Amino acid sequence: MDHAAEAELLKLSRQLLDSIDSGNWAAYCELCDPSITCFEPEANGHLVEGMPFHKFYFDLPGSGTPKQSSIVSPKVRVFGDGAVVTYVRAVQKLTADGAPVTVCADETRVWQRIGGAWKHVHFHRSPCA
């Protein structure tokens, strides 16, 4: 088991979620390979490829209210130049009425070591049952 790689991938995963929560497109791009693919609820069951689909959401006006993601029960599996990070993502945010709410999703994120650095190459997000 490569504990150093596992720790690094967890750290990168936290940075990725922080970039999403804060709307930091530059930080998100730094972590992702441009050919990233994904299945996520926003894509209505389709496999999305590339970054433009994700940029749409970063370009939306922010809510101006706090939003914070926590990684719960993570598992990291490293195999050569690839890795899978799975966890429950707990997102704390405010409803339209200003009440705090926590929304959870199951996330599987695939990373690949490219040019000596881990890059995010695929993810799948499903709402928790």
Q: Using CB under 6 A, list all residues that contact ligand GLY.
A: 20, 40, 54, 123
**Which residue, 20 or 83, is less far from ligand GLY as judged by CB?**
20
The letter for the amino acid at 24 is N
Q: Least distance from C-beta 119 to ligand GLY, angstroms?
A: 13
Q: How many CB atoms lie within 10 A of CB 54?
A: 19
**Which residue, 3 or 30, is less far from ligand GLY as judged by CB?**
30
Q: Least distance from C-beta 87 to ligand GLY, angstroms?
A: 12
What is 34-81 written as a DSSP string?
EEEEEE-GGGTTPPEESSHHHHHHHTSPP-SS--EEEEEEEEEEEETT
**Which residue, 4 or 56, is less far from ligand GLY as judged by CB?**
56
Q: How many CB atoms lie within 10 A of CB 109?
A: 24
Q: Least distance from C-beta 67 to ligand GLY, angstroms?
A: 13
